[in-house]
A = this chain, B = another copy of it.
Amino acid sequence: MKITRLAEGISIRRTVAEGTGEQLKAVQEIIRKVRQQGDEALFQYTAKWDGAELKDLRVSQQEIADAVANFDPQLLEDLKEAAENIRGYHESQKQQGYKLEHSNGSYVAQRVSAIESAGLYVPGGTAAYPSSVLMNVIPAQVAGVQRIVLVSPPQKDGRLSDGVLAAAHILGIQEVYKVGGAQAIAALAYGTESIAPVDKITGPGNVFVALAKREVNGDVAIDMIAGPSEIAVLADDTAYADEVAADLLSQAEHDPMASAVLLTVSEKLARETAEEVERQLETLPRHSIARAAIADHGVIYLGETVDELVKSANQLAPEHLEIMMEDAEAVAEKVVHAGAIFIGRYSSEPVGDYFAGTNHVLPTNSTARFSSALSVYDFIKRTSVIHYSEQAWSENEAKIARLARLEGLEGHARAVESRSWKKENQR
């Protein structure tokens, strides 16, 4: 892992897989076909790309029961405990509406309500993560979303992974479909005979899924399109190089495009961490992915002062920021841009990925400057309510009409004034 002086500046990476023009055309064709042919198109695409000949898209209750029975009971307990923690954290995000009443009899209010339905995309194969099911479904449930649907591409034998179904079972999700790719996104957005459309689609996916989400965006809501995983570690001499290295590799193993950065004032830690990364890579199962990530997007920055480190961390606005320093909490107070901050030696990043309760769907690619973790707020909407009494209207009618005419909108002015037309005409 290369070590460089922070004074020379950090480069902020901006790379989001956008797909090629050909991929986009393919996705548009898939969406068109699903809208026209419904389930028939889903069956065809699933046979073609997943190699599964299905009779039913929907996972039966028996299949879910079987998956749970197959699943390691200890892991089921672990998932349940994680789900409880996640629910606990997200419960505090519930929002209330408000109402402001005025003495003239008018009021303005904000109502908060859940969106009605949400669909979660779960990737197939080795990326079928039960933890993603928890992280996407629980905020929707806490928000009060009535209908929550899961879609995931089947294996060749026509089944979904036990872990995903076990996670769905724990959360009480019963509507699960065996369909993936752009066709699954099209089905969620526009509906087919088997799958009723949803209002919002969340969850990670490959480039076809990402392109399809962009295409349907606006007809339904989508979550952000996540980029490769990122970790930055702020550390001083109190940190242990083997732990820092292990944490850096935990993100590097996600994706060759993942980034892993150490920011430190300690030359010793910098040198030892670089060595530890090499040493640990030797026995890491996903070493080829992690090695590529470290080579291309792994840097150890040596700074002069802690303030300089913090400034750089804010510039990076990383998805995950760990602080392993003597006064970690005080340093954390100075960080304003990060998806999630992990404070202290024992707050290793996977603690947040799986268990602590915070959401692991986090802003990447410096977007933590302006965006946030997936949350209950993503599954609610707010409706403004306005009531003007006769008194409120008569006090303000002339002002509103003047403002409308200032903007050349005579019809607006007349609408407000129309309430007095009948008085003037002695009706």
Contact = CB atoms under 8 A, between A and B. Distances in A.
Interface of A: 14, 16, 72, 74-75, 78-79, 81-82, 88-89, 92-93, 98, 100, 106, 108, 110, 113, 115-116, 126, 129-131, 163, 199-200, 218-221, 225, 240, 242-243, 246-247, 249-250, 252-254, 280, 284-286, 290, 329, 332, 335-359, 362-363, 365, 367-373, 375, 377, 381-390, 392-393, 396, 399-400, 402-404, 406-416, 418-419, 421-422
Contact of A383 (B340, B409, B414): B340
Contacts of A416: 348, 350-351
A369 B345 CA distance: 44
Contact of A393 (B346, B359, B369, B383): B346
A381 B372 contact: yes
Nearest to A393: B346
Contact of A350 (B75, B100, B371, B412): B412
Residue with the greatest number of chain B CB neighbours at <10 A, chosen from A115, A290, A348: A348
B345 A386 contact: no
Nearest to A222: B370
B243 A418 contact: yes
A200 B352 CA distance: 28
Contact of A340 (B131, B225, B370, B385): B385
Given A108-B89, A348-B419, A286 B404 contact: no
A137 to B, nearest CB: 16
A413 B356 contact: no
A383 B334 CA distance: 12
A294 B396 CA distance: 28
A419 B346 contact: yes
Contacts of A356: 106, 108, 386, 388
Contacts of A382: 372-373, 375
Contacts of A419: 243, 345-346, 348
Main SS class of interface, A: mixed
A56 to B, nearest CB: 27
Contacts of A75: 402-403, 406
A200 B370 contact: yes
Contact of A421 (B242, B359, B409): B242
Given A221-B371, A373-B384, A419-B345, A406 B130 contact: yes
A370 B280 contact: no
A405 to B, nearest CB: 9
A51 to B, nearest CB: 21
Given A355-B396, A357-B100, A399-B81, A407 B129 contact: yes
Given A253-B410, A385-B343, A415-B348, A404 B370 contact: no
A247 to B, nearest CB: 5
A250 B79 CA distance: 55
Residue with the greatest number of chain B CB neighbours at <10 A, chosen from A356, A367, A408: A356
Given A16-B218, A116-B369, A350-B404, A290 B411 contact: yes
B388 A359 contact: no
A83 to B, nearest CB: 11
A415 B221 contact: no
List the 9 shortest-distance A-B pairs measured between CB atoms, nearest first. Answer: A253-B411, A346-B393, A246-B418, A250-B415, A340-B384, A358-B384, A372-B382, A350-B412, A221-B370
Nearest to A369: B199
Contacts of A389: 344, 346
Given A249-B415, A402-B78, A383 B108 contact: no
A89 B163 CA distance: 46
Contacts of A409: 250, 253-254, 286, 350
Nearest to A401: B350
Residue with the greatest number of chain B CB neighbours at <10 A, chosen from A92, A98, A252, A411: A411
A385 B341 contact: yes
Nearest to A134: B403
Contact of A78 (B14, B250, B399): B399
